[in-house]
Amino acid sequence: MGLINVDEENSSPIDLHFEDHGEGPTIVLVHGWPLSSASWEKQTAALLEAGYRVISYDRRGFGQSDKPSTGYDYDTMASDLDILLTELDLSDVTLVGFSMGGGELARYVANEGTDRVAKLVFISSIAPFLLKTDDNPEGVDRSVFSGMEKAIREDRPDFLRGFLKSFYNFEELGGSTISQAVLDANWSVAVQASPKATLDCVGAWLEDFREDVAAIDVPTLIIHGTRDQIVPIEASGGRMPDLIDGAELVRIEDGPHGILWTHADQVNTALLKFLAD
């Protein structure tokens, strides 16, 4: 476990919690909302066994990182990632972003380039553009996000309980590929996140990453579940190969949003194959 300072708010430092394990080519894991780096449990184990150095960190406001009242926009969060890579003096890394974490990858490349980056992996990612607009008819209506914001303000713990059921398609997969215990553990992590961060990040998802994604010039893998209820594949991952030259799309059949757990074997197989190529 380590801490890296990325900023300060008034008299308090803003430190990110990270873990750095193993030896070999470096993989940096960027988690999704509203969880923490602990959500990479099954991928970390597989990567370490395959001989990789694995670094994961908690985004500001989540997990064991500090919880400031500001900075929940993608320019700031991409800057946090850049500080992590710089402070640890990392190069030739593979960045792997899940869900909201895919936005960090896209904005990091747009702002900082790929000098430190060998490959990119987007899993259940919100990129390239989630919001439905006149020039983005595949997107999701703004009312969906407004409803989430309203529910978070009214009763965040109860909202998170329902959200996590949709995250894993629990009505279909509960008891087979996802247990109630995992759902409860996830809720415990999510409810301890900053309420301000939990709310502000919903608005950040509306960011348009189409130009960011078009700047990607390294090998890229997209992994997405075909039954993702949170970030529908048609509005996100399914469109990425058209925007990134040579990108590979792996569809996880019947996979929900939370494929890191429910379909970990398939995700890990695709990830390890891509890393080895």
Instruction: Show which residues are catalytic.
Output: 99, 228, 257
Residue 38 tokens read as 């602990």
Query: Is 48:115 a contact under the CB 8 Å cutoff?
Result: no
Residue 30 tokens read as 């960027």
Task: Give dist(CA 79, CA 73) in Å, integer.
Answer: 10
DSSP string over the chain: -EEEEEEEETTEEEEEEEEEE-SSSEEEEE--TT--GGGGHHHHHHHHHTT-EEEEEPPTTSTTS---SS--SHHHHHHHHHHHHHHTT--SEEEEEETTHHHHHHHHHHHH-STTEEEEEEES---S--B-BTTBTTSB-HHHHHHHHHHHHHHHHHHHHHHHHHHTTHHHHBTTTB-HHHHHHHHHHHHTS-HHHHHHHHHHTT---HHHHHT--S-EEEEEETT-SSS-GGGTGGGGGGTSTT-EEEEETT--TTHHHHTHHHHHHHHHHHHH-
